């Protein structure tokens, strides 16, 4: 591995950083308080190429790799985790699934509008009673001539109400049987497809999380992704890449909280000196810096393997598990460094604290990551 960022990666990071500071930072608490999903921000990022980072140029994307993708998410999340989360879900889940598993005809139809964010993407696997137990999902797709009829509800879906294009994984076989799920593309406006309840969340409040409801939703077989029964295997591969993006999201939140804590510790005086001079504070900052660096190295390893076309299930799970737990720890310690001020909404660390927890849950909990890792090391 080369630990030096390429010039392209640095340029992309600077572009994302400048955008976040100019267009996101002034409004992030307003969006957080009102739970507003700022769709216009994603349209603007689409114009910069940030909504189709690894979509090839032939399909209207930026044609970049996972190192660039990782720094984009980090720089956005250093300012606002909500925007970083939605950016990740659009790129790695919906768009990533279509890019990896769709036919050439399907790619030409959907990827250009996703890459520009003319269309916003959603990805539906999770259900109310089948989070990690996806093999027992209740949403079904039944073949009817040249069409499929979908019935059921997906929960906790990023852009469940606003997304224009959804990749939906449905059960097409008996519960808990092998190869019993198939993925489909469902377009907003299709009869029988609607958004349901929007969740009222602790953090990530400007990222829309909602139900997707299917009531005799009829779609053509042309919208099927890959072979019948391949949906779960596709989803696991998509989640490998998705875990890199949540790891990057976690790292961005951790870096944002850490940088705020360092700055505050230099400015806050007690006993006629900055609190950074006190060992109780300086040691917290040392731990933060060390853990952030370790998380970054794990992420870069996963990115390297992904870009090399090598197996990376274990490494992506390690990066996601460790980085997400670091995000929680660093943001917690950052609140402590700020003291009483850290508990107010006048300073950014309380939001980093609230946003960080989702990273240990979304796209596979920390417990599921440990399950994945242990299976890999015990093979």
What are the CA-CA distances from residue 231 to residues 73, 89, 172, 369 (Å)?
27, 18, 9, 20
Task: Say if residues 62 and 49 touch (Cβ distance below 8 Å).
Answer: yes
Our answer to whether residue 118 is catalytic in this structure is: no
325, 363, 367, 376: the active-site residue: 363
Task: Say if residues 319 and 298 touch (Cβ distance below 8 Å).
Answer: yes
Burial of residue 252 (CB within 10 Å: 0-12, 13-18, 19+) is buried
Task: Say if residues 243 and 322 touch (Cβ distance below 8 Å).
Answer: no
> Looking at the annotation, which residues are catalytic?
363
């Amino acid at each position: 591995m080369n630990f030096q960022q390429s010039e392209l990666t640095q340029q992309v990071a600077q572009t994302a950083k400048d955008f976040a500071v100019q267009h996101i930072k002034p409004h992030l608490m307003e969006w957080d308080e009102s739970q507003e999903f700022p769709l216009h921000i994603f349209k603007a990022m689409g114009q910069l190429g940030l909504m189709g980072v690894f979509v090839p140029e032939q399909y209207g994307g930026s044609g970049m790799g996972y190192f660039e993708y990782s720094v984009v998410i980090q720089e956005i999340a250093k300012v606002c985790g909500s925007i970083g989360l939605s950016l990740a879900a659009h790129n790695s889940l919906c768009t990533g699934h279509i890019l990896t598993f769709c036919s050439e005809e399907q790619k030409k139809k959907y990827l250009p509008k996703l890459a520009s964010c003319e269309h916003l993407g959603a990805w539906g696997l999770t259900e109310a009673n089948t989070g990690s137990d996806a093999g027992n999902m209740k949403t079904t797709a039944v073949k009817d001539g040249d069409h499929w009829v979908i019935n059921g509800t997906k929960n906790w879906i990023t852009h469940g109400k606003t997304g224009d294009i959804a990749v939906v994984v449905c059960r097409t076989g008996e519960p808990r049987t092998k190869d019993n799920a198939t993925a489909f593309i469902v377009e907003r406006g299709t009869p029988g497809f609607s958004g349901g309840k929007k969740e009222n969340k602790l953090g990530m409040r400007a990222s829309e999380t909602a139900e997707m409801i299917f009531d005799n939703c009829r779609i053509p077989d042309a919208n099927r992704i890959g072979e019948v029964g391949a949906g779960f295997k596709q989803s696991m591969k998509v989640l490998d890449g998705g875990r890199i993006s949540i790891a990057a999201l976690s790292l961005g939140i951790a870096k944002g909280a850490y940088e705020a804590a360092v700055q505050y510790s230099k400015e806050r005086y007690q006993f006629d000196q900055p609190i950074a001079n006190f060992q109780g504070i300086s040691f917290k900052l040392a731990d933060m810096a060390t853990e952030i660096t370790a998380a970054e190295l794990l992420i870069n390893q996963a990115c390297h393997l992904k870009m090399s076309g090598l197996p990376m299930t274990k490494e992506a799970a390690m990066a996601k598990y460790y980085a997400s737990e670091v995000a929680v720890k660093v943001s917690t310690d950052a609140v402590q460094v700020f003291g009483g001020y850290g508990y107010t909404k006048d300073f950014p660390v309380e939001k980093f604290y609230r946003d960080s927890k989702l990273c240990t849950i979304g796209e596979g909990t920390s417990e599921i990551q440990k399950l994945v890792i242990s299976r890999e090391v015990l093979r």
